[in-house]
Amino acid sequence: MLSFSLGPIGLPVGPVLLLVALVLAAWWADRGVAGEAPGTAVYQAALIGLLAARLVHLVLHAEPYLAAPLAMLDLRDGGWSAPAGAAAGAAWLAWRGWRRPHWRRPLARAAMAGLALWLAGAALTGRFHRPPLPATALLPLDGGPALDLRRAAAGRPVVVNLWASWCGPCRAEMPTLAAAQQREPRVGFLFVNQGEPEDTVRRYLAGLGTPLREVLRDPASGLGRAVGSPALPTTLFYDARGRLVDAHVGMLNGPALDSRLRALRAGDGPPSPGSNTPPQP
């Protein structure tokens, strides 16, 4: 499960799980400590951890972000280093516990409770499961018989973008994805429209100004259900063996897309026997 709907709003599961675990951990830290609030240290640790996670990610992917400096401030792009954030947050809690010995037990209790809650939520929502390419039937926009996503991937590393013309973030990121399709011959880009009729899709593409290849239609929005993401846009990154490498809910900027493509290219290789390479006619 990558996202869920709250009325008309689609929310990514990961940040929501993190926020719930944080609030409950801070509440647990404050229990039994009269007149003080060690839970504030939990919130401080979260802020420091997020800052460290972002900074380390920017350092590791400095080249694309230096080419578009404003993208460094776009926190929606999912660019975080989880190990760096966890280490920085834990170090802050350890320091606060060293300064205030009577906070050590509540802070340790809060850290363990928050981690347990996040792990349980992640397990229940399938965050640790890396499913292969689903066999959802799709319709090529340029005609021809229906084909499933595994056949459309054709044994390549692929970026699968779930979009609709009514979706503002989808329209905002489309030129970035279209440009990447033009310059990345080794990576396939599959643009899977969710639930719109053919004439609506064609009208939108005619006004886009940048040609798109491999546009597919999913009239019943089955692919969104199959990957566990009703929210749009959703972008999935699969390696040549059809394994899910990364996923992002929401708009991708250029540097964020580039960093994920680098990781995808680094893991590129020939498909293994029995993989999702389509049969030859």
pLDDT category at 270 given cuts 50, 70, 90 is: very low
Contact 169, 250 (CB under 8 A): yes
Name the residue type at position 105: R
User: What SS3 class is residue 231?
Assistant: coil
* The model scores a pTM over 0.75: yes
Contact 248, 256 (CB under 8 A): yes
- Cα Rg, the chain, nearest whole Å: 21
Report pLDDT for 123.
78
Report pLDDT for 14.
85
Pairing, β 3-6 against β 9-12: antiparallel
Whether the per-residue pLDDT at 259 is higher than 80: the answer is yes
Instruction: Give the pLDDT confidence of 82-124 residue by residue, as tens digits.
Output: 999 999 999 999 999 999 999 999 999 899 988 888 888 777 7
Average the pLDDT over 248-260 and give the result: 92
Query: Angle at which helices 39-60 and 82-99 pack, to 10 degrees?
Result: 150
Percent of residues, the chain, with pLDDT higher than 90: 57
User: What SS3 class is residue 229?
Assistant: coil
Q: Which architecture characterizes domain 137-266 according to CATH?
A: 3-Layer(aba) Sandwich (3.40)
Instruction: Give the pLDDT confidence of 178-216 residue by residue, as tens digits.
Output: 999 999 988 999 999 999 999 999 999 999 888 899 999
Report pLDDT for 281.
28
Report pLDDT for 96.
94
Instruction: Give the pLDDT confidence of 134-148 residue by residue, as tens digits.
Output: 888 999 987 778 888
Q: Between the CA of residue 26 and those of 23, 48, 197, what are the distances in Å?
A: 5, 15, 48
User: Higher pLDDT residue, 202 or 125?
Assistant: 202
Report pLDDT for 280.
29
Report pLDDT for 144.
78
Q: What is the mean pLDDT of the chain?
A: 87
Long-range contacts of the stretch 91-100 (C-beta < 8 A, 24+): 92/41, 92/44, 92/45, 92/48, 92/49, 93/41, 93/42, 93/45, 96/38, 96/41, 96/44, 96/45, 100/38
Whether the per-residue pLDDT at 29 is higher than 60: the answer is yes
CB-count exposure of residue 133 (10 Å: 0-12, 13-18, 19+): buried
Residues 6 or more apart in contact with residue 93 via CB below 8 angstroms = 41, 42, 45, 107, 111
Which DSSP state fits 54?
H
